[in-house]
Amino acid sequence: MILKGKTAIVTGASKGIGLAIVEELLEKGVKVAGWSRTDPGISDNDFQFISADVQSVESIEAAYKATVAKFGNTIDFLINNAGLGIPSAFEDTKPEDWQTMFRTNVDSIFYISRLLVPQMKQNDFGHIINISSIAGLNGVKGYAAYSATKHAVTGLTHSMMMELRDFGIKVTGVYPGSTNTHFFEGRHTSTPPENMMRPEDIAKSVVELLDTHPNYLPGDIELRPLRPQGKPKK
């Protein structure tokens, strides 16, 4: 098995898709550093909670040092999952909310990935997965700023892939549709929670992308609920 004994960093690890990815990786025998502001409370010898605020370069650098101290300098997988969305009409979007979303959704990918790429190049192996959103492929009414960040993630992911593939490093973009997580809590959505995808299914797909032949490079992967509105009425 490709995964067993490898080491991964997962950001946004305390809940939702990030937590599900951590649990799936641990089940496959991967050592995981879970970066988040809140401790998910996982009790596993192969798991280490690392306190991190991905909006802060200083916090990211400290989290990386703590990860290396725990697991060593070889990090095989990076799942850039941390993200947030603040709904607002375009003209009502607060500049501070715009900046918060870009720092979390886009800047963090740059700040974290740049720390890992040199050692991945040296090892001639690595896989970076950027968790984006369907909003990174289409505009979304009421989420202009969020959609802008996810479109930026798309461009960044594609460029990273083109630059790093010759060094044995895979870069994959994952674009989930509506998923039953805290993201939609208290928000109106056309897709009822029971018709959304489950975080554990997203996690299984992500881990399957990691468990691939060294010469197999998955690019953009869209994940969508089958019946977002439920079964049609007869």
Instruction: Determine, yes or no, domain membership for 209.
Output: yes
Instruction: Determine, yes or no, domain membership for 234.
Output: no
Instruction: Determine, yes or no, domain membership for 216.
Output: yes
**What's the average model confidence in pLDDT over 77-82?**
98
How many domains does one find in the chain?
1
Span 96-146, pLDDT tens digits: 999 999 999 999 999 999 999 999 999 999 999 999 999 899 999 999 999
The reported pTM is 0.92
CATH of the domain at 196: 3.40.50.720
Q: Determine the pLDDT at residue 194.
A: 80
Highest mean pLDDT pick, 69-78, 193-202, 224-233? 69-78
Of residues 143, 146, 175, 216, which has the active-site annotation? 146
In single-letter form, the type of residue at position 109 comes to I
Q: Determine the pLDDT at residue 92.
A: 96
Instruction: Determine, yes or no, domain membership for 17.
Output: yes
User: In sequence order, which residues have a C-beta less than 8 Å from that of residue 53 and are 6 or more positions away?
Assistant: 37, 59, 60
| Mean model confidence pLDDT for the chain | 93
Instruction: Determine, yes or no, domain membership for 218.
Output: yes
| Residue 146 among the catalytic residues | yes
Helix (H, G, I), strand (E, B) or coil at 56: coil
Cα 127 to Cα 217: distance, rounded to the nearest angstrom: 9
pLDDT of 169 > 60? The answer is: yes
Span 24-51, pLDDT tens digits: 999 999 999 999 999 999 999 999 999 9
